[in-house]
């Protein structure tokens, strides 16, 4: 532990190296978070099977401090999008993300979660969860192997190590607003684009109304003159 959080550049006498460590607040804060990440225990499709296998003793997620998967979003700080994201599931996924406390992270596991996979541009599949959630780590594969998911965990730990309390969003003065929950109707609709959709619809209706009006008869207008 002392070697992981010890800040180089300060010489500690040999007789005190087992009792004293000199570090920074950012380093010890990030060390505590990276070593105790709690993923949320839910899966979407076939990638969830690989996620479950990663939690078994053969691959041993406990080495990374991530073996405790929580069924409640209020006790989790890592959301693993493990599988195909359908339009029907997006509102529930965003709602669960909003219920997670800060700091929180999102890992897109597999081709479907990252960009739609083989179902890209399908009538019921979202082409990437990053359209609705801020993704921190992408894990490639269809489905990714447990080793690939472990590599994604290591990438997330490196990301946490590089963060600073001065710049992270959860320590700013202004509150962090929740993400807008998409609305499922005939198709999925993002509330952030309501004004854009409204303006487009009004312009299209106005153009249809203008095209439907009959043009004045030129011969009648000349006879009247």
Two structure tokens written together for 211: 């095209």
- Check residue 172 and give its pLDDT: 83
Classify 38-155 by CATH class: alpha beta
- Check residue 5 and give its pLDDT: 59
The DSSP annotation for 18-34 comes to: TT-----HHHHHHHHHH
- Check residue 1 and give its pLDDT: 53
Beta-ladder partners of 70: 40
Helix (H) or strand (E) holding 183, with range, is: strand 183-184
- Distances from the Cα of 110 to the Cα of 85, 122, 138, 146, angstroms: 11, 17, 8, 11
Beta-ladder partners of 109: 82, 139
- Check residue 40 and give its pLDDT: 92
- Check residue 207 and give its pLDDT: 81
Beta-ladder partners of 138: 108
Two structure tokens written together for 104: 């929180």
Helix (H) or strand (E) holding 79, with range, is: strand 78-82
Two structure tokens written together for 128: 């990437």
- Check residue 206 and give its pLDDT: 83
pLDDT < 50: residue spans in the chain: none
Task: List the domain boundaries for the chain.
Answer: 38-155, 183-213
Tell me the backbone φ, ψ of residue 137, rounded to 5 degrees: -140, 135
- Check residue 4 and give its pLDDT: 59
Buried b (16+ CB within 10 A) or exposed e, 39-62: bbbbbbbebbebbeebbeeeeebe
β-pairing verdict for 137-139 and 105-109 = parallel
β-pairing verdict for 188-189 and 78-82 = unpaired
What's the rounded Cα separation, in Å, for the pair 13 and 10? 10
- Check residue 184 and give its pLDDT: 80
Give the 3-state secondary structure of residue 126: coil
Burial of 18 (0-12, 13-18, 19+ CB in 10 A): exposed
Predicted TM-score (pTM) of this structure:
0.79
CB contact at 8 A, 191 and 183? yes
- Check residue 197 and give its pLDDT: 77
């Amino acid at each position: 532990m002392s070697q992981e959080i010890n800040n180089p550049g300060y010489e500690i006498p040999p007789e005190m190296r087992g009792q004293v460590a000199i570090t920074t607040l950012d380093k010890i804060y990030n060390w505590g978070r990276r070593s105790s990440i709690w993923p949320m225990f839910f899966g979407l499709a076939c990638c969830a099977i690989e996620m479950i296998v990663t939690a078994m003793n053969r691959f041993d997620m406990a080495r990374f401090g991530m073996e405790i998967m929580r069924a409640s979003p209020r006790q989790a700080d890592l959301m693993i999008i493990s599988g195909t994201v359908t339009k029907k599931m997006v509102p529930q996924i965003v709602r669960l993300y909003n219920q997670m406390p800060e700091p929180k992270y999102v890992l897109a596991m597999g081709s479907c979660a990252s960009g739609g996979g083989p179902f890209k541009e399908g009538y019921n599949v979202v082409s990437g969860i990053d359209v609705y959630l801020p993704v921190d780590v992408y894990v490639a594969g269809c489905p990714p192997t447990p080793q690939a998911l472990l590599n994604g965990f290591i990438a997330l730990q490196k990301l946490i190590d590089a963060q600073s309390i001065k710049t992270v969003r959860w320590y700013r003065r202004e509150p962090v607003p929740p993400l807008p929950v998409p609305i499922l109707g005939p198709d999925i609709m993002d509330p952030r684009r309501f004004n854009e959709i409204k303006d487009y619809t009004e312009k299209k209706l106005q153009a249809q109304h203008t095209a439907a009006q009959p043009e004045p008869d030129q011969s009648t207008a000349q006879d009247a003159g």
